[in-house]
Amino acid sequence: MKALKTLLEELEFTCERGSLDKEVSAVIYDSRKVQEGCLFICIEGANFDGHAYAAEVAAKGAAVLVVSKEVELLTDCETTVIKVENTRYAMAFISAAWFDHPAKKLTTIGITGTKGKTTTTYLVKSILENAGRKVGLVGTIETIIGEKHIHAVNTTPESYVLQDYFHQMAEAGCDTVVMEVSSQALMLHRSQGFVFDFGIFTNLEPDHIGPNEHGSFEEYMHYKGMLFKQCKVGIVNCDDEHWLKVMEGHTCSLETYGLSQNADLRADRLEFTNHQGQLGVKFHVSGLLDMEAEVAMPGRFSVYNALTAIAICRHFGVSEENIQKALLAAKVRGRIEMVKVSDEFTLMIDYAHNAMALESLLTTLKEYEHGRLVCIFGCGGNRSRDRRFEMGEVSGRLSDFTIITSDNPRFEEPEAIIADIITGIEKTDGKYISIIDRKEAIAYAIRNGQPGDIIVLAGKGHEDYQEIKGVKYHMDDRELVLDVINGR
């Protein structure tokens, strides 16, 4: 139980009815979970509005309602009604208070940007744990609390869930948390209720623009910038053309990183490496540090990800030796993840599931000396057909050979999705074959692998399922590859 006044102490509000002298048994925002004596927050979503359930929730015994507009309750109802400007914003602060402000017990690192968030969080975790810290992680793939791994539903969870995770991390002995902060989360106030010790900006490209996301690129950029009004130190990629616009109105101190000479922390002397099919890159770090580094992931974007992690971890006094060791050891599930199949050619799994991500990946890989660049991918059903045309065109233009297969067909026929991808490829001179069964497609690529080939298995990355006709069946690209090379 907690005193209502304690839960509201960091909020501006008016008490519309009832008393503030109440004890609260739980904080709830799902009307199906209401319990006697709880505080219920009326959240407005894209397809629902918690205010519509106010009378029902009060009748079930809610002690307090938090609202942003008028609600009608029975005259003899004793439920206290607290009115705030925005209930999502209020929920973040109420949740933080409910869990006794757990973020104050952790060093908090928030990473935002279009690309690189996931990989960078794992790199930071690897480096800091190598240096003896205990690090929790919240991101697109999972939340990690000690030995516990929780499958992620959103990149950044609802504020109540996030505060619960922070609480569990503190209880488990974590001293640090590194997390991805999506623009949606910033727009919906999921990361409010505390101040980040470090906020990081990786890059910005047009993405997440459309119904139920952001109305325009300018709006997308605006919400990315909100993180830098909610952190103490901002660490920013100054090679990104939008960084000054994103930082407008920032309230934190700023430092920059990048490959350009004007960055505070710089990477130069890049050298692409290939150790028996294991692609990577070596580089020199100058400016705020002076050291050599190497990461066992390919391309310039891997240098940016590693440099971002170095820029963060230098604030923790991590030794150069620990940074170097951790960067080489770090691996991220489904993000340019190498799977050893041969000493003669390379196979990697990556989450690239739209044209922008696929083009970035294939362009990077072309910088390596290689035989053929082979791309295996499909597209999801019940999604924009434009994505299929675009991905087909990108692969046809940049790959030497494309193997079109099935991804998550959902309620569409795989043949129809593949036909759309072929429409895109045929705008180019790219060679291709279509093999609907994903395992057979992978087997074809491996059986026909040639010395120096780079085979990219794109689209699913960390996902371990295939969705067909409303049912999710277990399917993991790593397991399919192992089945093929083990003859299963």
pLDDT tens per residue, range 408-418: 999 999 999 99
158-172 per-position pLDDT tens digit: 999 999 999 999 999
221 vs 146, more confident: 146
341-392 per-position pLDDT tens digit: 999 999 999 999 999 899 999 999 999 988 999 999 999 999 989 999 999 9
Distance CA 103, CA 427 (A): 52
Cα 229 to its chain centre, rounded Å, is 20
Same fold, 102-329 and 337-485: no
8-state DSSP, 248: T
pLDDT of residue 68: 97
- pTM of this structure: 0.92
pLDDT of residue 213: 61
**Domain boundaries of the chain, sorted by first residue:** 2-98, 102-329, 337-485
CATH architecture for residues 102-329: 3-Layer(aba) Sandwich (3.40)
- Residue 393: enclosing H or E segment and its boundaries? helix 385-398
- C-beta of residue 376 within 8 angstroms of C-beta of residue 484: no
- C-beta of residue 235 within 8 angstroms of C-beta of residue 201: yes
pLDDT of residue 144: 98
Q: How confident is residue 475, by pLDDT bands cut at 50, 70 and 90? A: very high
pLDDT of residue 252: 98
CATH of domain 2-98: 3.40.1390.10
Strand partners, 15: 82
Q: What's the mean per-residue pLDDT of the chain?
A: 94
- C-beta of residue 372 within 8 angstroms of C-beta of residue 456: no
- 107-112 and 176-180: which strand pairing? parallel
CB contact burial 97-134 (16+ within 10 A = b; e otherwise):
bbbebbbebbbbbbbbbbbbbbbbbbbbbbbbebbebe
CATH architecture for residues 337-485: Alpha-Beta Complex (3.90)
Phi, psi of 150 (to 5 degrees): -115, 120
Question: Closest Cα to residue 343, out of 488, 485, 487?
Answer: 485
Answer yes or no: is pLDDT of 318 > 70. yes
Q: How far is CA 171 from CA 106, 153, 168, in A?
A: 11, 23, 5
Answer yes or no: is pLDDT of 55 > 90. yes
80-134 per-position pLDDT tens digit: 999 999 999 999 999 999 999 999 999 999 999 988 999 999 999 999 999 999 9
pLDDT of residue 356: 87
